[in-house]
């Protein structure tokens, strides 16, 4: 009896192969011919799955974004009071997960979602999703009395995004006397804990119910 042939998932092979090549040589230097040779898939078959090389890149980044969305949804569903602390833990997890991905290759394609102007616009829905999950935890913190009920979620989210910029690619930082470089995991973890702890304490202090009452007098 002849064995049944296992169908080849060309799309999966192309995404995985392209991610490896983009990470090793960079998106610009990698061609569709390179991807076809690397995966053993004919160039014509590549175009049956993706119209352009850019479409492959978007598929790679989309998977990365979906992974982060799943993580954030899990954080929100498992969050317990105090919710500002849960928000801080979610932020820390995001920062470290992105760093792990960003440092996995020389030219990691996924981080282009955070650094490339055109792709930032292409994935604006991801940033909107991220902010919506922040807002859910801010609302929970407000209902729990951790912060004032009158606080603007959009204002808090803007503060979060402003403060956490140095913790995300392209890691725009430079220590005195040193060249600009990507922090190690240990360095980033220490910096992230410090920055996020100060951020959460600042949110709790600035938007507290007590301060709200003092302003009403």
The one-digit pLDDT tens for each residue of the chain (217 residues) are 445 555 579 999 999 999 999 999 999 999 999 999 999 999 999 999 999 999 999 999 999 999 999 999 999 999 999 999 999 999 999 999 999 999 999 899 999 999 888 999 999 999 999 999 999 999 999 999 999 999 999 999 999 999 999 999 988 766 666 666 788 999 999 999 999 999 999 999 999 865 555 444 4
Burial string for 89-120 (b: 16+ CB within 10 Å, else e) reads bbbbbbbeebbebbbebebbbbbbbbebeebe
Domains and CATH numbers, the chain: 8-51 (1.10.10.60), 60-171+183-211 (1.10.357)
H-assigned helices in 79-147: 83-102, 112-115, 117-122, 124-143
Contact status, residue 203 vs residue 159, Cβ threshold 8 Å: yes
Residue with tokens 């360095």: 187
pLDDT of the residue at 179? 66
pLDDT of the residue at 164? 95
pLDDT of the residue at 8? 72
Radius of gyration of the chain (CA): 21
- How far is CA 189 from each of CA 10, 85, 100, rounded to the nearest angstrom? 38, 16, 11
Contact status, residue 72 vs residue 132, Cβ threshold 8 Å: no
CA-nearest of 138, 130, 120 to 199 is 138
Task: Tell me how crowded residue 15 is: count the other CB atoms within 10 A of its CB.
Answer: 21
């Amino acid at each position: 009896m002849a064995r049944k042939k296992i169908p080849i998932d060309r799309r999966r092979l192309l995404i995985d192969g392209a991610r490896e090549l983009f990470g090793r040589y960079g998106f610009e230097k990698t061609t569709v011919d390179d991807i076809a040779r690397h995966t053993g898939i004919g160039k014509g078959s590549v175009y049956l799955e993706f119209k352009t090389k850019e479409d492959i890149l978007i598929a790679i980044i989309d998977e990365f974004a979906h992974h982060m969305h799943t993580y954030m949804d899990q954080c929100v569903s498992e969050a317990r009071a105090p919710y500002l602390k849960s928000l801080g833990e979610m932020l820390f997890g995001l920062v470290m997960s992105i760093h792990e991905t960003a440092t996995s290759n020389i030219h990691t394609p996924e981080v282009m979602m955070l650094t490339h102007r055109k792709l930032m616009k292409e994935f604006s829905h991801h940033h909107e999703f991220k902010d919506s999950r922040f807002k859910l935890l801010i609302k929970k913190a407000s209902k729990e009395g951790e912060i004032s009920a009158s606080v603007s979620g959009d204002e808090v989210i803007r503060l979060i995004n402003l403060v956490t910029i140095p913790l995300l690619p392209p890691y725009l930082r430079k220590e005195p006397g040193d060249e600009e470089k990507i922090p190690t995991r240990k360095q980033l973890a220490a910096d992230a804990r410090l920055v996020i702890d100060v951020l959460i304490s600042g949110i709790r202090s600035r938007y507290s119910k007590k301060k709200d009452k003092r302003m009403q007098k």
